[in-house]
């Protein structure tokens, strides 16, 4: 692996810690040090580590085999659970990552509209080939992207008769946990409708922030939504879905069906783990409890004079990169750029401990 790495975001010079075990909200590195996990696998670790219900679901499915080459009994459970949570998702398709979900949603938008142009936003991250920070990544897939300013309602003027889709995170995740203004997102909704373009909400990270995702909080209905992260119960996962008339284009019984295969789209363990998480672990009350923990953390951090952004259980710390290694030494792990995603096993005591450690480091 180049530089010993297969996942750029995890690299920390001179080298990152190797984590060998996780349980609840705690992780242990290869040298035996224990940390409270405030990274939560960039939101994919919502359930915490080794959740017994999810582990049991995986064990149960594993016993019957994992590469069955056919529809399995778990994919309908997961599809029903997700469609039941997000009313805008009338039909859904699974894939293997958030990146793939966004590529598929954009490709669907281009096929359905017959147009090519895609409007995205500065600071947006939608995957390894859809990264729009500081002019965009050289690896971005070859589409005519137009990059607007996030939270600038005037950016809606970029949407025109050539636009296939507007792809936007309702809160910038990797871009610093910056919530989207309702007026900005509504302007995109209106412009897309007026010009016959599709509005795609990337809720790969943000779907965890409310039972119906941030689209429910904002009361804005996108045409398509992309999902990922924790919805696979901690295993590799992605999904895209939305308006029935659009998603029905994939119905393989149609003579003109759009093809979308994918060996592991219905991976048995992922489907089973995801369904167990959504039907047996996560509840609206648990989401509210975790969001309140995030509010508590933001309040503590702001009281230290540090800028703390985000919404609910996703927290962005700003301009404190210098305390990262000190926080690790004090037993608190999170993303060096200041990203925190809380997981269900964390407690108020844990959150207060994080803030106390940050205060001591800053002092």
Compute, in degrees rounded to 10, the torsion defined by CA atoms 209, 215, 216, 217. Answer: 60
Alpha helices per DSSP H over 196-323: 213-218, 244-247, 268-276, 284-303
Q: Does residue 228 interact with ligand PMP by CB under 6 A?
A: yes
Q: Does residue 225 interact with ligand PMP by CB under 6 A?
A: no
Site for ligand PMP in 237-276 (CB under 6 A): 238
Q: Does residue 205 interact with ligand PMP by CB under 6 A?
A: yes
Give the integer Cα–Cα distance in Å for 290 and 311: 11
* Candidates 229, 230, 332, 334; catalytic one: 229
Would you call 149 a catalytic residue per the annotation? no
Of 155-163, 197-205, 277-285, 331-339, which segment contacts ligand PMP by CB under 6 A?
197-205
Of 17-25, 52-60, 62-70, 200-208, which segment contacts ligand PMP by CB under 6 A?
200-208
Q: Where are the beta strands (DSSP E) in the chain?
A: 19-23, 26-29, 34-37, 91-95, 117-121, 124-125, 131-132, 145-148, 163-168, 171-172, 178-179, 198-202, 224-228, 238-242, 308-311, 314-317, 332-333, 339-341
Choice from 126, 189, 208, 300 touching ligand PMP (CB under 6 A)? 126
What's the chain's Rg over C-alpha atoms? Answer: 20
Q: Does residue 42 interact with ligand PMP by CB under 6 A?
A: yes
Q: Does residue 94 interact with ligand PMP by CB under 6 A?
A: no
Of 76-84, 93-101, 109-117, 265-273, which segment contacts ligand PMP by CB under 6 A?
93-101
Give the integer Cα–Cα distance in Å for 223 and 198: 6
Structure tokens at 214: 């941030």
Q: Does residue 127 interact with ligand PMP by CB under 6 A?
A: yes
Size of the site for ligand PMP (CB under 6 A): 16
Please report, as ranges, the residues that interact with ligand PMP according to CB under 6 A.
Answer: 42, 97-99, 102, 125-127, 169, 173-174, 202, 204-205, 228, 238
């Amino acid at each position: 692996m180049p530089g010993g790495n297969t996942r750029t975001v995890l690299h920390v010079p001179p080298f990152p810690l190797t984590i060998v075990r996780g349980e609840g909200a705690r992780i242990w590195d290869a040298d035996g040090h224990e940390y409270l996990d405030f990274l939560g696998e960039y939101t994919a670790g919502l359930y915490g580590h080794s959740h017994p219900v999810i582990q049991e679901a995986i064990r149960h499915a594993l016993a019957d085999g994992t590469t069955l080459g056919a529809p399995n009994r778990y994919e309908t459970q997961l599809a029903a659970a997700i469609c039941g949570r997000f009313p805008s998702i009338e039909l859904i398709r699974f894939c293997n990552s958030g990146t793939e979900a966004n590529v598929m949603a954009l490709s669907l938008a281009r096929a359905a509209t017959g147009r090519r142009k895609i409007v995205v936003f500065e600071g947006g991250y939608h995957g390894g080939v859809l990264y729009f920070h500081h002019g965009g990544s050289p690896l971005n897939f070859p589409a005519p992207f137009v990059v607007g300013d996030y939270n600038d309602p005037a950016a809606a003027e970029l949407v025109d008769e050539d636009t296939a889709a507007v792809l936007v995170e309702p809160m910038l995740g990797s871009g610093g946990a910056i919530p989207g203004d309702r007026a900005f997102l509504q302007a995109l909704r209106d412009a897309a409708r007026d010009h016959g373009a599709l509005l795609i909400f990337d809720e790969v990270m943000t779907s965890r922030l409310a039972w119906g995702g941030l689209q429910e909080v904002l009361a804005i209905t996108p045409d398509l939504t992309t999902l990922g992260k924790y919805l696979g119960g901690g295993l590799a996962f992605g999904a895209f879905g939305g308006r029935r008339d659009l998603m029905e284009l994939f119905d393989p019984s149609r003579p003109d069906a759009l093809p979308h295969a994918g060996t592991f789209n219905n991976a048995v363990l992922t489907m089973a783990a995801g369904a167990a998480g959504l039907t047996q672990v996560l509840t609206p009350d648990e989401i509210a409890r975790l969001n309140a923990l995030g509010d508590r953390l933001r309040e503590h951090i702001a009281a230290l004079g540090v800028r703390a952004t985000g919404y609910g259980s996703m927290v962005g710390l700003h301009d404190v990169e210098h305390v990262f290694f000190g926080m690790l030494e004090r037993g608190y792990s999170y993303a060096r750029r200041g990203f925190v995603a809380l997981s269900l096993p964390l407690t108020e005591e844990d959150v207060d401990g994080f803030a106390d450690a940050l205060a001591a480091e800053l002092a």
